[in-house]
Structure 1
Amino acid sequence: MTNAELIQALKAIGYPVAYSHFVSTPENPAPPPPFITVQFAFSGDVMADNLNYVEVSNYQVELYTTKKDVATEKLVQDKLKELRMPYSKTATWLDEEKLFQTIYEIQLIGE
């Protein structure tokens, strides 16, 4: 699965999805929460014989909500399970933004 395919699959949940962030303009303001962003975090390639043998791209799928929203988290988790993508999950309150951030760490192999 590619990054673009992941974003398309997440859009099926019904919330706005963007890579990294939403670009807000007067004609097209950033969406209100809940929304999802996807971004590359780091590579964890499998290496052998001084070569990157298998590309392993670690991504973060970030869900932003105004309150702790277990039902919305479940939608994201169910979609990741449907895509057969194992994930690790962390969550925090972003005081400055007044938003909950739930991060799902996933891997895309061979992208």
Structure 2
Amino acid sequence: MNREEVFAMLRSTGLPVTYRQWSPAKPPPLPYIVYYFVDGDDLIADNENYIGVRRWCAELYSESKDDESEKKIGLALKQHKKPYAYQEIGNIEDGPYEAVFFFTTIGG
């Protein structure tokens, strides 16, 4: 799954999505998703990279805990059969709340 396919999968949530940052554009109103490539660890066979294994991060920014948007992201990942881990790391007092989804794609 390449970056454009990951973008389309996350857009299926109905939330605004961008890769890495909104700059130079101004971010839309919360909630929104910022995603990025974390790392890759291809499977190797016969001394060649056989299939791409990519790890991604999707950060959900919201005013406060947003169960509905978190469920939308989880559902999109499940529908596309992407294993994921989830963390709440936001501090509402210092800025927007943040929930983070780390997921893996195979191929691409």
- Using structure 2 for the length normalisation, give the TM-score: 0.85
Moved over 4 A (4+): 94-97
Distance 1:102 1:22 in 2: 18
Q: Secondary structure at the match of 1:68?
A: coil
Unaligned runs of 5+ in 2: none
- Residue identity over aligned pairs, in percent, reads 31
Unaligned runs of 5+ in 1: none
Change (3 A) 1:97 1:8: farther
Aligned positions of 1:90-109 closer than 5 A: 90-94=87-91, 98-109=95-106
Q: Is the 8 A contact 1:15 1:34 kept in 2?
A: yes
Counterpart code for 2:4:
A
Could you tell me how far 1:59 is from its partner in structure 2?
0.6
Could you tell me how far 1:82 is from its partner in structure 2?
1.1
Aligned residues: 108
- Using structure 1 for the length normalisation, give the TM-score: 0.83
Aligned positions of 1:9-88 closer than 5 A: 9-25=9-25, 29-88=26-85
Distance 1:74 1:97 in 2: 24
